[in-house]
Amino acid sequence: MKALLVIDMQREFITGIYNKENIIFHIQGLIKCFQKQKQLIVFTQDYHTSPKDKEFIKFGKHCIKKTEGVKIIDELINYEHILIRKKRFSAFFNTKLNKILLKHKIKEIFISGIYTEYCILATALDSYYNNYNVYVISDATSTSNYEIHKNSISLIKKLSANILTTNSVIKQLNKEKNI
């Protein structure tokens, strides 16, 4: 089994993202393909319950519960998914993600979403450390500018993950279904 992770596609974060329309388009295509193949889809949500969260010292207050900014963007909210709320960069840190992946017998993780240099990197590393085959989808991930994204993708490739494009993932999934 495979899982598509859609990392932090939230109202508060999406406004500052480089190439956001294309990222949203690619994620929508991936979600449709994973749904068609009956694979697991997990959204993460950066979600803070305390106004004194340690992360706010460095990054300022963001994604506080019950605010508009914490919500998943409208373009993605209607797709069926499991939601994981997190307080740190990695989708694995103090969450039930690994338990859910094990329950569904997931072997391969495909990562999409935002911020490449923070949450995508941390989640890719923890996916690798938890013994999953890890794929980061370069055209379905982004950050505030292209150079940071490009450099982060290069680092992720060196440390933990295979780098793919949306088209290559969709082709591979469709090919596997026809075998």
- Across the chain, mean pLDDT equals 91
Ordered structural domains, the chain, with CATH: 6-177 (3.40.50.850)
Termini Cα distance of the chain: 15
Tokens of 131: 């013994």
What pLDDT is recorded for position 160? Answer: 84
- Is the Cβ–Cβ distance between 123 and 8 less than 8 Å? no
The structure tokens 């379905």 sit at 140
Amino acid letter, 36 = K
For the whole model, what pTM was predicted?
0.93
Reported as a single tens digit per residue, the pLDDT across 42-91 is 999 987 777 777 776 667 667 677 888 889 999 998 888 999 999 889 99
Residue 25 has pLDDT above 70, yes or no: yes
* pLDDT tens column, 106-139: 999 999 999 999 999 999 999 999 999 999 999 9
